[in-house]
A = this chain, B = another copy of it.
């Protein structure tokens, strides 16, 4: 089932928040994402970023600064997820009203 292929990529607690962070800011460093995504640990961020890179949704770029900084960026392909994430966000907003009433 095709949906499953998509959900696999977005699975876990953090992927969508990470994508949102990188997407919204165009380029984003590791520690920036760590701040954007409240509550995530560096271990999880590292792991999720690796997953996203494997799935060709983001690129990793090591800058030759002292100390090193690493920039992440959505690929063109990763950007194709944007409309879906927007739709999810819309639906989530509506859902909150329906269920939680806030």
Contact = CB atoms under 8 A, between A and B. Distances in A.
A16 B20 contact: no
A5 interface: yes
Contacts of A1: 17, 20, 89
A99 to B, nearest CB: 6
20 contacts: A1-B17, A1-B20, A2-B88, A2-B90, A3-B16, A3-B92, A4-B17, A5-B93, A5-B95, A9-B95, A55-B99, A56-B99, A80-B91, A80-B94, A81-B91, A83-B87, A84-B84, A84-B87, A84-B88, A87-B87
Given A3-B88, A87-B87, 7 more contacts: A2-B90, A2-B93, A5-B95, A6-B89, A6-B92, A9-B92, A84-B87
Interface residues of A, number: 32
Nearest to A5: B92
B77 A98 contact: yes
Contacts of A92: 2-7, 9
